[in-house]
Amino acid sequence: MEGAAMINKAILIGRLGRDPEVRVTPEGTMVTSFTLATDEQWKDKNGEKVQRTEWHRIVTWGKLADICGQYLVKGKLVYIEGRIQTRSWEDKEGMKRSTTEIIASDMKMLDSKGQSKVDGPAYEANAANQANDPNGPIDDVPF
């Protein structure tokens, strides 16, 4: 479909599985990574409640990474919006590895005040006016 519009967008609401891991690239750009759990519930054929948790890897860059590193903690409920990206690398044993991540462009904290690392208002942050990924693919940043 030549000329057709394409969309790569992920929207998630879930809880952090761990505190964000904060790193700085050799060029000085901040990057954070963390996992986000989303739950799905349904009843099976016997009427029993079934729950499945899906884990998502989230990566943030620049100012958004700084905000996430300061205010997000394990268990915090957040809204994440971004694009889906798969990257590949070779591990120490020479095996090909790959992972799929959400490169976040927007984050909103949904928990009430007092559940972040720093007491203060709920924060909303986005990277709409800045480059999310100023250094290209993050293949050189091991997570």
Least confident of 4-18, 47-61, 103-117, 122-136: 122-136
Q: Which residue has the tokens 């057709």?
A: 4
Whether residue 10 has pLDDT greater than 70: yes
Average pLDDT over residues 16-33: 96
The count of other CB atoms within 10 Å of the CB of residue 3 is: 4
Structure tokens at 47: 């009427």
Query: Which tokens go with 103?
Result: 């490169």
Predicted confidence at residue 112, as pLDDT, reads 67
pLDDT digits (tens, 9 = 90+) for 108-138: 999 765 444 444 444 456 554 344 444 344 4
